[in-house]
Structure 1
Amino acid sequence: MRMITFFLVGLTVHVVFFISIFDIYFTSPLVHGMTPQSIPLVPPASRLVLVVADGLRADSLFTLLSNDSSMIPYLRNVIEDMGTWGVSHTRVPTESRPGHVALIAGFYEDVSAVAKGWKENPVEFDSVFNESRHTWCWGSPDILPMFAKGASGDHVYTHTYPAQEEDFASTDASRLDSWVFTQVKAFFNSAKWNSSLRASLLEDKNVFFLHLLGIDTNGHAHRPVSKEYIDNIALVDSGVAELVSTVEEFFDYDGRTAYVFTSDHGMTNWGSHGAGHPSETLTPLVAWGAGVNRARIVTEPQQYTDGYLKDWKLEHLRRVDVNQADIAPLMASLIGVPIPVNSVGVLPLLYLNNSEQFKAESMYTNAIQILEQFKMKMSQRKETTLSFLFTPYQPLTESKQAELIHKARILIQLEKYEDAVSLCQSLISRSLEGLVYYHTYDRFFLGCSVVLGFVGWTSYVILVILKTHASLNRHPNLTQQIPSRNLARLCMCVAAVIAVFLFIQRSPFTYYIYCLLPVPVWYSVLKESGTLTDLIRSAPSLPLWKCLGYFVLVAFGIELLVVSFFHRAMLTVGLAALSLWPLLSGLFSKAKVRSGSWFLGCLCLAAFPLMPVVGREPNVHLVVCAGLLTLFTSACYLWSSRHKTPLHLGDKPQFVSQMLHVAVCACVPSLTHASLQQKQGLPLLNQVISWSTLASSIFVPLLSSTRLFHRLLSIFLSLTSTYLLLSTGSEALFPPVLSWLMFVWINIEQEALLSQGVSSRQELSVIDFSANIDITRIRQLKLDDIRRSYFFVFFIITAFFGTGNIASINSFDPASVYCFLTVFNPFIMGGLMMWKVIIPFIIVMCTFETIQVATQLSSRSLFLIVLVISDLMALHFFFLVQDYGSWLDIGTSISHYVIVMSMTIFLMLLSVVTHILTSKRLILWRKTKMHFP
């Protein structure tokens, strides 16, 4: 009962620590209640046409063909004669929803939207569409509805095709774009005879939005260098030319239409996006029409670090780069609608073809709009902070705000427009910095509370280990402890003071949890202070130098794991060091064959962290090789163990069927990819095999014998079958190599236990997971158990980073799930990829469960050491979280903390699952005895 209570308390504490990072770093930056700001002059355009080519890279659009001709003759002509062009720099994550939010709403996606798969609004936000008089949209059902849902009123009209059309196995995804262009043409034709629609179209401040998904879909299915991708770009160019002709004809060539052509994100050469590679973050921007500057010839070299200008042969034309969020205020200024109230974009004046007064007034409106957000953020923070504790943002106090606004207004009135623009840009810069200041105002306070709770919890777990699992000299009569009553009263007083302080400040409910949690945690630590006294008194009888050596090695090992999050190659260094363990510990002389297997296994596994995690070309032949390796190692084991651990009669058919199943699953990816390359779609039989394998992967091992190696082999075969279906190349070899090393680890730990003088060890061949553990044989912890726990944590990290990292999860290749589905579905695809990540975890967890049984330790004792090591890593990453530098640096540092905390919580839950997976058995049928009277 006490163990269950400890487990639940530990789980609750870690969930709180995990959630805290979302309150500290993942809170929504959006504020509401600001007044929309409009430019007080007549806009140059009456309507705007926005075309977004989803997944289009800048270099794919601008680069000429081998014969120096362009695949985009119409847009190339616009760039060279009629409009202004440049590169739009996106931010991570380079996904469709965040990109469109930046384009149309002017702010970078609220990170809390990741929990909703970038499909739902975590909070409502303003957009150019919302501020328009009418907006008509055509395109994907994944993008369009979110802007209609977020709009006030019913003036945003969407026309979408069925979600089933977004099929990566489609013969030609460019038909998605053809559908959009056809629908738009039909729409304008129908408006010629529909008087009410025509009247709406002739009004000002209208927006027409075309979302073109074909390029993105073809890029995923065939790669951006494929003929399908290139042909799709050409189709879009011709479609845009026809679109412009249709629009201009309908409006009698009145010259009041502005056009913006861009992309939400790019794509890597291997057909993925989501991370921060330049091919994903550099997208094209071309604007022309009413209110937009025409192409300008430049004579001096333009300074751009990407070096693309010569390749594009556009070095003679002025290139105007923008941040993706800057496009929203540009579109708003062109048609004279208020800039979206949550926008952080800065109006790119070089795109505007208007008077200096218009530019100055536009920049002034932009500055006031961002300042309004700053003032609202400051007001909210002031209301929830005691007046004597409130520290305003010094570069932009209320008096400085008034001074800068007044000065900018005077400069415009005096027609000193350049000075006014410069001052407004300075005001915008200060306002954006101030928004960050107030958004992170409570970060240090909350961080200190979480760290205090973290240190307290880790200290408590260490004391519990020393008290219940270590052989210390107990001196209960001499132990001086703080009286429990006085300690409880002191803690209650501290908790009351904290609660009153938070209540006065009107803090959110979660703040109470983060600030009050350290109180009971430290109360528990102080109650166990007697254990610390016992440790000090036991010090003379302990092998201090050996203890010190272990702790130094573990500390060094933890640092190596931390660095491996940034540099996967450090795992290779770690595995190389681990391969020498039998030699350094003296086990080599006692178990030469097993030590040799350990050495080779470590070196083979060490090769995987050196392989690329993204950009791997599919190689289904390696998947077949992985299947053959799995069959070979399984057959060798069954043959070598036929005398020590003979199979039961009922187990033989299961192992035969599982091995045949592995052979089938090794061939399914090859057959599927061949079918997709021939554009014949996903074969139904392959899909049925894949889903049935996934559904049965957890239950099939429960049908096998619970004898140690038989159950582990069944688990390995079942999980590897699913892993093969989710693999496209060398990563398929990872589970067989990892499993080989895990089997060797189990055997070699038995030898290590014998070398420690534990002669009553149980032979592995007779261990049964389902047998009740003899409590009298469970021993106390030894120093070597710290090493076992560290090995486990190391292999868990290797299981995650061996074939991937943050980029591989954020930018996974959809080809990995083609055996299951080809129609885009982010939740199912994400779930399948997460299961692929979990499979190596389960293999390592089952091995650790086996070692606990084989080394005669309670599952609690070793797991407590693992908990301490994991918490020390998590605390390390908490200090490494940063709120400066690039968005990618910030996001990566947060992701590392989230991964370690998720791992700790996940392992606590997974330990229960693996216990069931190893020790329980399903009996589908049972022989019954016949009794006759």
Structure 2
Amino acid sequence: MLLFFALGLLVHFVFFASIFDIYFTSPLVHGMTPQFIPSPPPAKRLVLFVADGLRADAVYELDEDGNSRAPFIRNIIMHEGSWGISHTRVPTESRPGHVALIAGFYEDVSAVAKGWKENPVEFDSLFNESKYTWSWGSPDILPMFAKGASGDHVYTYSYDAQREDFGAHDATKLDTWVFDNVKDFFNAARNNRSLFSKVNEEKIVFFLHLLGIDTNGHAHRPSSREYKDNIKKVDDGVKEIVSIFKHFYGDDGKTAFIFTSDHGMTDWGSHGAGHPSETLTPLVTWGAGIKFPERVSAQQPDDEFLKEWKLENWKRRDVDQADIAPLMASLIGVPFPLNSVGILPVDYLNNTGLFKAESMLTNAVQILEQFKLDALRKARSYIKQEKFDEVVSLCEELIDLALKGLSYYHTYDRFFLGISVAVGFVGWTSYASLLILKSHSNLTRSAGKEAKKPHHLLACSFVAVGVLVACFLLIQVCPWTYYVYCLLPVPIWYAVLREHQVVQDLAESLLTFPLSRFVVYLLVFVLGIEVLVLSFFYRYMLTAGLIVFAGWPFVTQLWTRAKITCLSWALFSLLLAVFPLMPVVGRKPDLSLVMGAGLLVLLLSLAIVTTLTRRKITLAKEELLVLPLQMLSIVLSMYVVYSTHHSLLKKEGLPLMNQIVSWATLASSLVMPLLSSTALFQRLSSILLSLMSTYLLLSTGYEALFPLVLSCLMFVWVHMEQETLQQPGASCRQKFTSIQFTCNTDIAQLRLLNLDDIRRAFFLVFFLVTAFFGTGNIASINSFDLASVYCFLTVFSPFMMGALMMWKILIPFVLVMCAFEAVQITTQLSSKGISHYVIVMSMTIFLVFLNGLAQLLTTKKFQLCGKPKSHLL
């Protein structure tokens, strides 16, 4: 059996890893030749301002008094340059946003998880192609474009990472630091001959990364005064920097300016997904080579935004975010970044038709090098004939065709690999199911027969198939992982066909099963699986499932035996059904709900005390301390949440004592249950109280109530499942308090699996999916709310914050798995047998680890010195 679990874990890991080979493949292509625009560029230098986290509407709209929050930028739109919307792609995060802006391609999603400062793969960028680049800003962004740049020509100036504190009094200091250092830089250049010579070269770039708006948005929300005031601070800073450039270079008209953002932000202060508030970012350009404002009477897109912003009479030019990279490259005359997929927005350029045509042609050659034969020769002939409009039209068509071709080749093996993995997984599911029937059920009669040895031709056939598959992959020069995905199904299906006797016995057993009953069971099973699948796309399907669950005991004999238990089951099922209907994202912090959840937990703990006292439960010395300490921990968690929230509102930061209490609570939450009794009721109660103290610290609103309602339903579930095995008139409540968790119990011989166990396995998977999507906290990457971890830390630390959020996500899973451990014991069910069901139905790897954690929390016990006492407190 241990070998089976090890094999199952390995198989699931292989199938899990296959997703990254099939879908997360790098879009980078190496070995291309840099492409230059032959015409002289309009600008000698480029200044790029990136206001991190700035929404388009926040900078374009007028305030309540009819004034602009960014008067300098608005003046540019009306009198000096061109403007529009830059459309970003998901994930709307800082790293992929800056890569799209400066390197011109949309980064592989998996790269986001590989690091913020370091590059998983090297890529070309505008900075690398420049003669010199000077950059100021966050230490999380600047090193990406300095490391790997050829030569020593990309200079970075970053502040200390500790400045990125979401609880800081004034996050605008991050932007002030950048503006001040740029001013100091030019003051130094006047007195440094070497530096003065460099900044007067051609093809140079100045990059100002401004993080204050993003930080204030996370800490205070985009509707806050802090966020809006930061926009004004940035606008003033941009105005001052532009003035410095004009003064330093004598207003030579050779500087191009770009003002944009890497991503926007939702009303609730997060980003990462595809809401318009995150994907619509501003783009304002002016200076050398940029088209002047164009007055229009009507324009496309004719949306409400233009009228709200009072900009409907100034032509709006929208672009995709990656299009900005080739625009900047064309302005200063450097090669387009090699992996750029951006399309040059020629409508922004104030230049000759020849320059636009040659720029567009260079863009096409850079993207479509493999198509340059006849098509590009024809484009060059158009240029000689001065058919410039035809050149632009042809090149736009070629770019679209090339992108489709690149997508085809990048996904060429996707269908083949997907089929291989699907065949392997179906085989593994079939094999696990056959082992269940063979070892833990009475549906088959093969156990009493002498097992027939499979014919040697079967093994030879599968060996031949494996050799053929390996030869095919060898000819295709496939990576070694392809051999794993394609060859793994071969031994799996061989193992399935070895169990042909089990299949035969199962078929014979099904022939004796009533057809109508079989059809009903099959229909219910299929509908249940469909609800689980649809719940991954539509959370309200969980609500529908829980409503059906609420009515389940009333159509069975349970209602006649345990009315109070059935009513409790229905009540908590309906309460839990409310949570999937709550908003996934966009919820505002509501401390009253967190405080209410804490008070309910305290009331529950008092009910536990009353129950133990009434039943005269004998407790050990250490157990006398556990419950009072857990109640104290709940009270402290409520205080820390309240205190931290008000401290941050006053901009006083995170109090040190609150931080210490939070981390101490987290550390003790897994230890406290191990001091309590291993009796089912006491251990499950202890686990809930310990984990709830941590969950409260990580909650900002209604989700604080979720694990409490879920746990109550889990308690009732344990009672319900035990009732299903009781004879009429028998009492299970007294027995429930006397049953002990133990890791040494193996009751496989007491009974075999039956149809009710399929329902129990389905309930487990359904409750795990509900834990996954119940509050929407991981239904979308966008619902990652930094405010959830403010009781632990406010200084930006992505991995630490991610780990805390992951533990918050796992707490409902742990509660469900601990309850299922109790179900297995109270129903006299072999944990080994049901584990096979779980593997087949859930198709997840981490259930194995959760099961181990649940066993640790429910079966282990720390014991201090002392003898048991006969009183509770």
TM normalised by structure 1 equals: 0.91
The equivalent position to 1:470 in structure 2, one of 438, 441, 446, is: 441
Q: Are residues 854 and 253 of structure 1, via their aligned partners in 2, closer, same or farther at CA, if it must alter by over 3 Å? A: same
The equivalent position to 2:430 in structure 1, one of 445, 459, 465, is: 459
Deviation at 1:179, TM superposition (A): 0.6
Please identify, of 769-778 and 142-151, the stretch whose mean Cα deviation from structure 2 is larger. 769-778
Kept after mapping to 2: 8 A contact 1:479/1:530: no
Which residue is equivalent to 1:320? Answer: 317
Kept after mapping to 2: 8 A contact 1:645/1:766: no
Deviation at 1:611, TM superposition (A): 0.9
Which residue is equivalent to 1:724? Answer: 696
Matches within 5 A, 1:244-393: 244-299=242-297, 301-304=298-301, 306-372=303-369, 375=370
Kept after mapping to 1: 8 A contact 2:438/2:446: no
Deviation at 1:456, TM superposition (A): 0.5
Please identify, of 761-770 and 485-494, the stretch whose mean Cα deviation from structure 2 is larger. 761-770
Deviation at 1:870, TM superposition (A): 1.9
Deviation at 1:806, TM superposition (A): 4.7
Deviation at 1:762, TM superposition (A): 9.4
CA–CA distance in 1 between the matches of 2:864 and 2:35? 70
The equivalent position to 2:19 in structure 1, one of 12, 18, 21, is: 21
| Partner deviation per Cα, 1:696-717 (whole Å, 9 max, x = no partner) | 2112211111111111111111
Which residue is equivalent to 2:504? Answer: 533
> Counterpart of 1:714 in structure 2: which amino acid?
S
Which residue is equivalent to 1:743? Answer: 715
CA–CA distance in 1 between the matches of 2:453 and 2:857? 45
Q: Are residues 290 and 546 of structure 1, via their aligned partners in 2, closer, same or farther at CA, if it must alter by over 3 Å? A: same
CA–CA distance in 1 between the matches of 2:730 and 2:509? 23
| Partner deviation per Cα, 1:92-142 (whole Å, 9 max, x = no partner) | 111111100000000011212132244431211110001000000000001
CA–CA distance in 1 between the matches of 2:444 and 2:799? 55
Kept after mapping to 1: 8 A contact 2:547/2:574: yes
Give 3-state SS (helix, strand or coil) of 1:259's partner.
strand
The equivalent position to 1:665 in structure 2, one of 611, 618, 637, is: 637
> Counterpart of 2:857 in structure 1: which amino acid?
L
Kept after mapping to 1: 8 A contact 2:118/2:143: no
Please identify, of 697-706 and 919-928, the stretch whose mean Cα deviation from structure 2 is larger. 919-928
Deviation at 1:12, TM superposition (A): 0.8
Give 3-state SS (helix, strand or coil) of 2:205's partner.
strand
Matches within 5 A, 1:712-791: 712-754=684-726, 763-770=735-742, 772-773=744-745, 775=747, 778-791=750-763
CA–CA distance in 2 between the matches of 1:472 and 1:618? 54
Give 3-state SS (helix, strand or coil) of 1:407's partner.
helix
Deviation at 1:499, TM superposition (A): 1.4
Is structure 2 residue 388 aligned with structure 1 residue 417? Answer: yes
Which residue is equivalent to 1:181? Answer: 179
Please identify, of 695-704 and 734-743, the stretch whose mean Cα deviation from structure 2 is larger. 695-704
Please identify, of 463-472 and 77-86, the stretch whose mean Cα deviation from structure 2 is larger. 463-472
Kept after mapping to 2: 8 A contact 1:50/1:210: yes
> Counterpart of 1:506 in structure 2: which amino acid?
V
The equivalent position to 1:206 in structure 2, one of 204, 208, 219, is: 204
CA–CA distance in 1 between the matches of 2:742 and 2:270? 45
Give 3-state SS (helix, strand or coil) of 2:155's partner.
strand
CA–CA distance in 2 between the matches of 1:77 and 1:792? 61
Which residue is equivalent to 2:72? Answer: 74
Q: Using the aligned pairs only, state the percent identity.
A: 61
Deviation at 1:658, TM superposition (A): 0.8
CA–CA distance in 2 between the matches of 1:245 and 1:658? 61
Give 3-state SS (helix, strand or coil) of 1:753's partner.
coil
Which residue is equivalent to 1:381? Answer: none
CA–CA distance in 1 between the matches of 2:115 and 2:718? 40
CA–CA distance in 2 between the matches of 1:316 and 1:771? 75
CA–CA distance in 1 between the matches of 2:612 and 2:823? 19
| Partner deviation per Cα, 1:230-272 (whole Å, 9 max, x = no partner) | 1110111111111011011111111100000000000111111
Query: What stretches of structure 1 move > 6 A for 4+ residues in a row?
Result: 476-480, 756-762
CA–CA distance in 2 between the matches of 1:153 and 1:337? 16
Kept after mapping to 2: 8 A contact 1:90/1:99: yes
Q: Are residues 87 and 680 of structure 1, via their aligned partners in 2, closer, same or farther at CA, if it must alter by over 3 Å? A: same
CA–CA distance in 2 between the matches of 1:745 and 1:69? 60
Which residue is equivalent to 2:131? Answer: 133
Q: Are residues 479 and 362 of structure 1, via their aligned partners in 2, closer, same or farther at CA, if it must alter by over 3 Å? A: farther
CA–CA distance in 2 between the matches of 1:824 and 1:78? 34
Which residue is equivalent to 2:871? Answer: none
CA–CA distance in 2 between the matches of 1:588 and 1:477? 39
CA–CA distance in 2 between the matches of 1:257 and 1:539? 81
Which residue is equivalent to 2:466? Answer: 495
Which residue is equivalent to 2:521? Answer: 550
| Partner deviation per Cα, 1:845-874 (whole Å, 9 max, x = no partner) | 001111011111111211222222223xxx
CA–CA distance in 1 between the matches of 2:300 and 2:432? 57
Give 3-state SS (helix, strand or coil) of 2:560's partner.
coil
Matches within 5 A, 1:854-873: 854-871=826-843
Matches within 5 A, 1:553-568: 553-568=524-539
CA–CA distance in 1 between the matches of 2:176 and 2:311? 29
Kept after mapping to 1: 8 A contact 2:743/2:855: no
Which residue is equivalent to 1:106? Answer: 104
Kept after mapping to 1: 8 A contact 2:438/2:447: no
Q: Are residues 305 and 821 of structure 1, via their aligned partners in 2, closer, same or farther at CA, if it must alter by over 3 Å? A: farther
Kept after mapping to 2: 8 A contact 1:110/1:122: no
> Counterpart of 2:327 in structure 1: which amino acid?
L
Is structure 2 residue 605 aligned with structure 1 residue 634? Answer: yes
Runs (5+) with no aligned partner, structure 2: 869-873
Is structure 2 residue 646 aligned with structure 1 residue 674? Answer: yes
> Counterpart of 2:220 in structure 1: which amino acid?
H
Kept after mapping to 2: 8 A contact 1:547/1:783: no
CA–CA distance in 2 between the matches of 1:514 and 1:276? 32
CA–CA distance in 1 between the matches of 2:280 and 2:169? 28
Please identify, of 92-101 and 629-638, the stretch whose mean Cα deviation from structure 2 is larger. 629-638
Which residue is equivalent to 1:435? Answer: 406
Which residue is equivalent to 1:383? Answer: none
CA–CA distance in 2 between the matches of 1:755 and 1:538? 28
RMSD: 1.9
The equivalent position to 2:541 in structure 1, one of 557, 570, 592, is: 570
Which residue is equivalent to 1:898? Answer: none
Q: Are residues 848 and 757 of structure 1, via their aligned partners in 2, closer, same or farther at CA, if it must alter by over 3 Å? A: farther
TM normalised by structure 2 equals: 0.97
Please identify, of 478-487 and 433-442, the stretch whose mean Cα deviation from structure 2 is larger. 478-487
> Counterpart of 2:368 in structure 1: which amino acid?
L
CA–CA distance in 1 between the matches of 2:445 and 2:566? 39
CA–CA distance in 1 between the matches of 2:435 and 2:614? 44
Deviation at 1:652, TM superposition (A): 2.2
Please identify, of 547-556 and 39-48, the stretch whose mean Cα deviation from structure 2 is larger. 547-556
Q: Are residues 331 and 355 of structure 1, via their aligned partners in 2, closer, same or farther at CA, if it must alter by over 3 Å? A: same
Deviation at 1:64, TM superposition (A): 1.0
CA–CA distance in 1 between the matches of 2:748 and 2:782? 49
Deviation at 1:805, TM superposition (A): 5.2
| Partner deviation per Cα, 1:376-435 (whole Å, 9 max, x = no partner) | xxxxxxxxxxxxxxxxxxxxxx6xx52211111111111100001100111111110000
Runs (5+) with no aligned partner, structure 1: 376-397, 872-903, 929-933
Q: Are residues 823 and 771 of structure 1, via their aligned partners in 2, closer, same or farther at CA, if it must alter by over 3 Å? A: closer
Kept after mapping to 1: 8 A contact 2:546/2:573: yes
CA–CA distance in 2 between the matches of 1:806 and 1:772? 36
Matches within 5 A, 1:587-666: 587-644=558-615, 646-650=617-621, 651-666=623-638
Which residue is equivalent to 1:523? Answer: 494
User: How many residues are treated as equivalent by the alignment?
Assistant: 867
The equivalent position to 1:404 in structure 2, one of 353, 375, 379, is: 375
Q: Are residues 57 and 755 of structure 1, via their aligned partners in 2, closer, same or farther at CA, if it must alter by over 3 Å? A: farther
CA–CA distance in 2 between the matches of 1:772 and 1:12? 26
CA–CA distance in 1 between the matches of 2:430 and 2:112? 34
Matches within 5 A, 1:784-863: 784-804=756-776, 806=778, 808-863=780-835
Deviation at 1:304, TM superposition (A): 2.0
